[in-house]
Amino acid sequence: MTGRYPARIPIGLMEPLAYGDDSVGLPPEHPTPASLLKAAGYETALTGKWHLGFLPEHGPIRHGFDEFYGILGGGVDYFSHRAPPGKLDLHEGNVTVNQAGYITDLLTDRAIQFVRRRRATPFYLALHYTAPHWPWEGPGDSAASRMYRSVADTVKDRYVKGYADGDSLRVFAAMMQRLDEGVGRLLRALEDTSQSRDTFVVFTSDNGGERYSYNWPASDGKTSLREGGIRVPAIVRWPGKVPAGGTTDQTVITMDWTATMLGLGGAAPDPSYPFDGIDLTQLCLGKAVPAERALFWRTQAQAAARRGGWKYLSAEGEDMLFDIPNDPGERSNLDIYRPRELVTLREEFRRWNDRMLPRPH
């Protein structure tokens, strides 16, 4: 939502923002793709997950979205739409609503309603599915099976990475299938309304897979700065503009999409909040030559930097260097073989880190 490194603002230091924590949120004065595109004449809407603050001044409506339908927290029950503390977390604008339905389907339906609406202006739609976030509930689950899985998930062994019984994998697959169907329904709505060739579509994720995901050849998953935690899918669709079936080896990062959306929409960025991301339009069109750049990640316990194929990782009390194109599983630490690359990347990370907000104590 900012096009900048999370560590530049206080909410970016939260891992994660606990449900109901009103102490921090995305500052109301901070520009977003929605606020900047709205100023350029776009109609804007968010359908799905926000998780950037619970107070109205931290919410989507204050950040340029004309419409908001979704959840403020990190995840809810797919049927009751209640957060872990038991509080209902489904909202229409700033009003809490109680509606029946599987949350993935509700979000898809609302997004389709939005794109089918007749309008004289262009639109920016952010569809943030909660799937396949916990709790793991498929569209055909019964109340009894959900209760069983909820209790079972508190058992310690369920949290061992890579562990999953057959039933859990079937549920996860059902969740992903319904999400996939939802994306297909939305794309068909764009086709049916003759908007497909005028709409730039991005499909991506907010982090690497977790418990029931298959991250091979990457190692680890969500919450880790190894490739399994930070490498995500990124698929672009723009018929007639983006070449079909193409791929790129260019290293890009989620915050690049902010600058890209603004570039496509002819919206000017706010000079008071300069982007860390870059405009990927020419890359998506197949016209750009891949450029080398340095990227950085930070959690409370880990640090990482990437330049070209080299990746510096500080984790578990050890500084490591990996050749990612040839070792995506990060199994061969090359620190003693390529000390210059390790020292250079570690120093780049230090200089970047000094410009960010300090880690909370």
> Is residue 161 domain-resident?
yes
Backbone angles phi and psi of 334, in degrees to 5 = -100, 20
Host domain of residue 278: 6-200+238-291
> Is residue 130 domain-resident?
yes
Three-state DSSP class for 108? helix
pTM, 2 dp = 0.93
> Is residue 14 domain-resident?
yes
Q: How far apart are CA 232 and CA 193, in angstroms?
A: 30
CB 219 within 8 A of CB 227: yes
> Is residue 137 domain-resident?
yes
Over 80: is that where the pLDDT of 27 sits? yes
Over 70: is that where the pLDDT of 164 sits? no
DSSP for 267-329, please give it.
PPPPTTS--SS---HHHHTT-PPP---EEEEE-SS-EEEEETTEEEEEETTEEEEEETTT-TT
**Confidence at 149, pLDDT banded by 50, 70, 90:** low
Residues linked to residue 296 through DSSP beta bridges, in sequence order: 305
CATH number of the structural domain spanning residue 26: 3.40.720.10
> Is residue 270 domain-resident?
yes
CB 132 within 8 A of CB 206: no
Q: What is the 3-state secondary structure (H, E, C) of 4-71?
A: CCHHHCHHHHCCCCCCCCCCCCCCCCCCCHHHHHHHCCCEEEEEEECCCCCCHHHCHHHHCCCEEEEE
Q: How far apart are CA 319 and CA 338, in angstroms?
A: 12
Mean pLDDT calculated for residue range 42-53: 97
- List pLDDT tens digits, range 234-279: 999 999 999 999 999 899 999 999 999 999 999 999 999 999 999 9
> Is residue 221 domain-resident?
no
Q: How far apart are CA 13 and CA 121, in angstroms?
A: 37
Handedness of CA 217, 222, 227, 230 (dihedral sign): positive
Mean pLDDT calculated for residue range 61-89: 95
> Is residue 316 domain-resident?
no
CB 270 within 8 A of CB 280: no
- List pLDDT tens digits, range 281-317: 999 999 877 788 999 999 999 999 999 999 999 999 9
Mean pLDDT of the chain: 92
Both structure tokens of 216: 């091979």
**Confidence at 155, pLDDT banded by 50, 70, 90:** very low
Residue 158: per-residue pLDDT: 36
> Is residue 124 domain-resident?
yes
The structural domain count of the chain equals 1
